[in-house]
Each structure stands twice: as structure tokens, then as C-alpha cells.
């Protein structure tokens, strides 16, 4: 294959290097385009822009492939745990037994949240969205856990990673308990990562929570499926904010804010709201499908479509199976699942959805799983955020270790007014 591509502008020709990834993906390296030609590229929404080289996650949107560090997500969902997958993403390899044990001890050691932080949680208005609370509190972590100069840089970074993974989970459960006016449940050293979360959410002095291993498994799968997704909106936000060399807490807080949006991590909440609306209007999905196809109506079928996947999102299939398993185990008949299945059946055969390559994404079934677990609707994006943490951390780490690291600073094509003279206030109008 050629190593360069030729660009001809105004009769002058330029050679642009081609970069080939390990899975054969080819990119045009335009780093010197402006200095050599005076041109920039224009790519709204970065749909065609590779912002970095990365060896963490591989996605093939045409074939519906997702792999973390080379491992298919289907295998990780079946055999791994979220804790182990987090280790894999951050460190690049599956841990040996002693490494995994050490990681668990660290997660346990860092699971408590500074008691002074509890006041912050108490003082948010009761109706504050948990994503707003989480992003603020993650930013505040920096003030409570400043760097210790005696520690080596590597030790400090590892502690920060573990602290985030462990404390964000504790804080999410704390904010839920406080929103209900209930007593906080502290993390327990004898419980696994996922079991601990469920216990902190649902244990109560008047009704002890009984850990259900099937729900723990389902939560592991849910978080594994969300653990990374290469350069998505929130990860790009973490890399971009991190590129200014802010501390990791601030970069992750920016990622949480990006994830909050209904087109990204907020979609799992929007899907359930949409299914509920269909249910309340009699259960027929047809008018909603018609609205989604109407160009004059801003309504979209939530949980459908993806910037990269032009076929089934591989995570959606696993999530659907998990959904069926959880509902069967809990003996729940959720009418929203029936509606979701009917909606999917009709939409995937509809010419509009076929022509636009719109298939169910990870969020289509995940909300029904979370609902069955007892997770309140407004906490769905928080569940996504806990899952995405290992991805954000590993992508931030990779960007910081990149010898070609650069401050992220895109350019633009200016389309505003040309230079004009200032008009004093009394001469305007
Ligand atoms: N329902 C109806 N039409 C849609 C939908 C949808 N869900 N998604 C895209 N389209 C249409 C859109 O109207 C446009 O049509 P046309 O070309 O005729 O004007 C075309 O498809 C392309 O849309 P786009 O917004 O330019 O495509 P995108 O790649 O920017 O969109 C997306 C990706 C996820 C924002 C979009 O599919 C969407 O809004 N989906 C619903 C929200 C959702 O489920 N988000 C979760 C994504 S998965 C979790 C995650 O990784 O964040």
C-alpha cells in the first residue's frame, strides 16, 4: 500500500503521510497540512477526525465489533468481572491473581468518603440531578485528597485511579440515600465491588438487603459493557480537558457533565421515559415511529442509532439477554420490555431505520435492567458514569503518557463579519 496520499490544491501537489492501525484502519496524517498548505480541515462533530492513536479499545461500527485491549466484549461480559475489566483497561493486561487481590485491597482501602464531604451531599436541593451532584463532588475530591509530595508520581497516580473507582461508587449510593432522607450505608470490606454498591444503595436498618448473586452478575455485565468506547463524547471531553494539564478529578468531572446529555449517557433514562410514554398512550409504538421519521419533528427514537455503529451495537444484544435473565429471576413482568421488543421488531424492518442504519444501541435495554434492580430513573446516567470510569481513566493515562502530547485546540472556519469600526453608544441604532 502507498505510504502517502496526494493532495492537489490550486495545481500544486502535496504528499500527506498515511497512518495504518493494527486492524487495518487507514488515516491521513494532516498534522502539517496548515504549515505546508495554509489549509485546515473542516469536520463538524469530528465525525471523520481521529484525535489520537490509542491501543485501548477497538470498535468496528460496520461489523459491530467491540474489544478492550484485544479481548472481545462478549468474552469479558461472560467471564470477567467489572473490577478485573477496569484493571485490564487501565493497565493493559489481565491481572495475575496477586495483582487482582492487591487491586481489591486498594479498592477497599479507598472506598470511604471523607466525613466532611457528607455536608455537601446534605445541602444539595432534594431535586438536584444526581449527575450534577456527582460531577461537583468528583471535582471537590481534589480539595479533600490533595497530592502528597512524599509519594512517588506512580504511587500517587495509582492511588488517584483507585480512589476514583472506589469513591465514585460510594458517592453515587450516598447521594441516593440522602435524596430519600435515609441514613447512609457505608461500604463493607467483605463484599465485592458490585455487591457493595447494591448493598450501599438498598440496605436499611429496618430491611436488611439480601445480596442476590444474579443481580451482582447483571451489574458486572452492565458495567463491563459501559467500561470504554474509544473516543466518544465524554471520553473526548476527558482527553480535551485533561490536555490542559488539569488534575484528573477535574477532567473526569468534565466527562461526567458530557455524559449527562440525553444523546449520550442520559439516553438510558430517556429510553425508559419514552417507553413509559408509549405505555401510557395505550402501548402502540407506531405513532412514535412515525414521529421519529418526521423531519419536522425533533423527536428521535431513544436507544436507537449510533455515531459509529451502523449495525447492531454488540452491547445491545448482551444487554437484551441480561434483561431477560434478570426479569425472569426476579419474576418481574415489565410491560415496558414488551413495548421495547415490539418497537424494535417494527423499527428494524422499517425502510427509514434501515436506510439510516439505525439499530438498537446499548441504552435500549439497559434501563429496563436497572429498573428491575430498583435503581431510580434519574440515577441511570450515574450508573453509566460509574461503568465508564475505567475507560476515562485509561484514556487520560494514555494521553498523559503520549510523547507527542499536545494541548487540544481545534481550529475553525470563521464565517462572521469582517473588520469594522467601533460605534459609540449614542451613535448606534
Ligand atoms: N431516531 C430517528 N432518527 C434518527 C435517530 C433516531 N434515534 N438517530 C439518528 N437519526 C437520523 C437523523 O434524523 C438523521 O436523519 P437525516 O439524515 O435524514 O436528517 C440521520 O439519522 C443522522 O443523524 P445524526 O444525528 O447526524 O447522526 P449521529 O451519528 O450524529 O447520531 C446519535 C448519533 C446517537 C446522536 C443519534 O443516533 C441519536 O440521537 N440517537 C438517540 C439517542 C441515543 O440513543 N443515544 C445513545 C447513544 S449509545 C450510548 C453512547 O455511547 O453514548
| Predicted confidence (pLDDT) per residue in 199-220, tens digit | 999 999 999 999 999 999 999 9
For ligand 1, whether the C-beta of 289 sits within 6 Å is no
The atom of ligand 1 lying closest to the CA of 264 is 52
Q: Which of 267, 305, 354, 385 to mutate to test the pocket of ligand 1 (most atoms within 8 A of CB)?
A: 305
Confidence of residue 1 (pLDDT cuts 50, 70, 90): confident
Q: 3-class secondary structure for 291-327?
A: HHHCCCCCCCCCCECCCCCCCCCHHHHHHHHHHHHHH
Task: Please tell me the distance between residue 304's alpha carbon and the centre of ligand 1 in angstroms.
Answer: 7
Active site residue 333: no
How far lies 258's CA from each of 13, 331, 388, 406, in Å? 40, 36, 12, 21
Question: Tens digits of per-residue pLDDT, 318-347?
Answer: 999 999 999 999 999 999 999 999 999 999
Element (H, E) at 72: strand 71-72
Rounded Cα gap, residues 377 and 270, in angstroms: 9
- Residue-averaged pLDDT of the chain: 94
Is residue 180 exposed (0-12), middle (13-18) or buried (19+ Cβ within 10 Å)?
Answer: exposed
Picking from 314, 300, 366, the residue whose alpha carbon sits closest to that of residue 337 is 366
- C-alpha of residue 358 to centroid of ligand 1, in Å: 8
Residue with the larger pLDDT of the pair 147 and 82: 82
Q: Which of 229, 264, 306, 334 is catalytic?
A: 306
Question: Three-state SS string across 158-213, please?
Answer: HHHHHHHHHHHHHHHHHHHHHHCCCCCCCCCCCCCHHHHHHHHHHCECCECCCCCH
pLDDT in tens, 342-381: 999 999 999 999 999 999 999 999 999 999 999 999 999 9
Separation of CA 73 and ligand 1 centre (Å): 23
Q: Is the CB of 341 under 6 A from ligand 1?
A: no
Q: Per residue in 28-66, pLDDT tens?
A: 999 999 999 999 999 999 999 999 999 999 999 999 999
| Start-to-end Cα distance in the chain | 62
Mean pLDDT confidence for 129-147 = 92
Lowest mean pLDDT among 172-186, 206-220, 228-242, 377-391: 172-186
Q: Kind and range of the H or E element at 18?
A: strand 12-20
- pLDDT at position 149, please? 80
Residue nearest to atom 22 of ligand 1 (CA): 356
Using pLDDT thresholds of 50, 70 and 90, give the confidence band for residue 2: confident
Residue 363 bears catalytic tag: yes
Lowest mean pLDDT among 38-47, 62-71, 148-157: 148-157
How much is the pLDDT for 108?
Answer: 96
- 92 in the Ramachandran plot: left (φ > 0), alpha (ψ -120 to 50) or beta? left
User: Region 253-260: what's the mean pLDDT?
Assistant: 96
Question: How far apart are alpha carbons 83 and 90 in whole angstroms?
Answer: 11
In this structure, what DSSP letter does residue 61 have?
A: T
Q: What is the pTM of this model?
A: 0.94
Residue 151 is predicted with a pLDDT of 85
Amino acid at each position: 500500500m502507498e505510504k502517502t496520499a496526494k493532495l492537489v490544491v490550486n495545481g500544486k501537489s502535496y504528499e500527506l503521510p498515511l497512518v495504518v492501525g493494527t486492524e487495518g484502519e487507514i488515516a491521513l496524517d494532516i498534522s502539517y497540512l496548515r504549515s505546508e498548505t495554509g489549509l485546515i480541515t473542516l469536520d463538524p462533530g469530528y465525525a471523520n477526525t481521529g484525535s489520537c492513536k490509542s491501543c485501548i479499545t477497538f470498535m468496528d461500527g460496520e461489523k459491530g465489533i467491540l474489544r478492550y485491549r484485544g479481548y472481545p466484549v462478549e468474552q469479558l461480559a461472560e467471564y470477567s468481572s467489572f473490577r478485573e475489566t477496569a484493571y485490564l483497561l487501565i493497565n493493559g493486561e489481565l491481572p495475575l491473581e496477586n495483582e487482582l487481590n492487591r487491586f481489591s485491597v486498594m479498592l477497599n482501602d479507598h472506598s470511604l468518603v471523607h466525613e466532611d464531604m457528607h455536608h455537601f451531599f446534605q445541602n444539595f436541593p432534594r431535586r438536584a440531578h444526581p449527575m450534577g451532584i456527582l460531577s461537583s463532588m468528583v471535582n471537590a475530591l481534589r480539595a479533600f485528597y490533595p497530592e502528597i509530595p512524599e509519594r512517588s508520581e506512580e504511587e500517587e497516580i495509582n492511588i488517584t485511579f483507585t480512589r476514583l473507582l472506589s469513591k465514585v461508587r460510594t458517592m453515587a449510593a450516598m447521594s441516593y440515600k440522602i435524596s430519600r432522607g435515609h441514613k447512609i450505608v457505608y461500604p463493607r470490606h467483605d463484599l465485592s465491588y458490585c455487591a457493595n454498591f447494591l448493598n450501599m444503595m438498598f440496605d436499611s436498618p429496618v430491611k436488611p438487603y439480601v445480596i442476590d448473586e444474579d443481580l451482582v452478575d447483571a451489574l458486572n455485565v452492565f458495567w463491563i459493557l459501559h467500561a470504554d468506547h474509544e473516543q466518544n463524547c465524554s471520553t473526548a471531553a476527558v482527553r480535551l480537558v485533561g490536555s490542559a494539564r488539569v488534575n484528573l478529578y477535574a477532567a473526569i468531572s468534565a466527562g461526567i457533565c458530557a455524559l449527562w446529555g440525553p444523546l449520550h449517557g442520559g439516553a438510558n433514562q430517556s429510553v425508559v421515559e419514552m417507553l413509559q410514554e408509549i405505555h401510557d398512550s395505550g402501548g402502540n409504538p407506531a405513532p412514535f415511529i412515525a414521529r421519529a421519521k418526521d423531519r419536522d419533528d425533533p423527536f428521535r427514537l431513544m436507544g436507537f442509532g449510533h455515531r459509529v455503529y451502523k449495525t447492531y451495537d454488540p452491547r445491545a444484544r448482551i444487554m437484551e439477554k441480561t434483561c431477560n435473565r434478570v426479569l425472569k429471576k426476579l419474576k418481574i413482568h415489565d410491560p415496558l420490555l414488551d413495548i421495547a421488543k415490539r418497537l424494535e421488531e417494527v423499527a428494524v424492518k422499517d425502510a427509514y431505520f434501515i436506510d439510516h442504519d439505525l439499530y438498537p444501541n446499548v441504552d435500549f435495554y439497559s434501563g429496563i435492567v436497572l429498573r428491575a434492580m430498583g435503581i431510580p430513573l434519574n440515577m441511570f446516567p450515574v450508573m453509566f458514569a460509574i461503568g465508564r470510569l475505567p475507560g476515562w481513566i485509561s484514556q487520560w493515562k494514555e494521553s498523559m503518557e503520549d510523547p507527542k502530547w499536545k494541548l487540544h485546540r481545534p481550529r475553525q472556519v470563521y464565517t462572521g463579519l469582517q473588520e469594522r469600526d467601533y460605534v459609540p453608544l449614542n451613535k448606534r441604532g
